[in-house]
Amino acid sequence: MSFDIDRYFLTLALDEAEQALSENTYPIGAVIVDENYKLVSTGRNQVHPHHDATAHAEINAIRNAGQAILNAKVNREKFTIFTSLEPCPMCTGGILFANIKKVVWILNDDLGFGGYKKIKGANVFDNRFNEIEVIEEPYKDLKIRQQELMSKWEVNPNNIVNLRDALM
């Protein structure tokens, strides 16, 4: 029996996403590991609990990695971020600046704020993007779980659409 490392860490990211939803915020989770697959940090969306529009899962995981991210940049270590949804433009920028070398996500976000593929497609940071390995939607069962979380988010009172409707 072989151990599937990507699946293991994507499941941890999905656990963080479930925790985010239980805190009434957007259900996204992320984890960062070093090149030996040692867990460096975790993060989840905390926009609503922290009243901070930048408290996205990937950004929180990068913040929580602290000095380890800086050391990895200096020592040219290859960190990987596993996230439950395609990173938005802000998180994509964080990934580029943190010098993360591999990005794996459960669910593409073509219709939402998913920005990783869009920014990469704009050919504006070719040198940076060419150094990063990307794996999209590798597991159907995890994708379905993330889609279920997104469906639950649609009816959450903190969803922006529902907040706007409450004001009308």
**Please, what sign has the CA dihedral across residues 152, 154, 156, 158?**
positive
Alpha-carbon distances, residue 139 vs 22, 46, 105 (angstroms): 23, 25, 10
Choose the catalytic residue: 16, 18, 58, 86.
58
What is the Cα–Cα distance from 95 to 60, expressed in whole angstroms?
A: 11
Q: Is residue 58 among the annotated active site residues?
A: yes
What is the Cα–Cα distance from 120 to 98, expressed in whole angstroms?
A: 16
Which two tokens mark 115? 């920005």
The angle subtended at Cα 6 by Cα 59 and Cα 48, nearest 5°, is 30
Active-site positions read 58
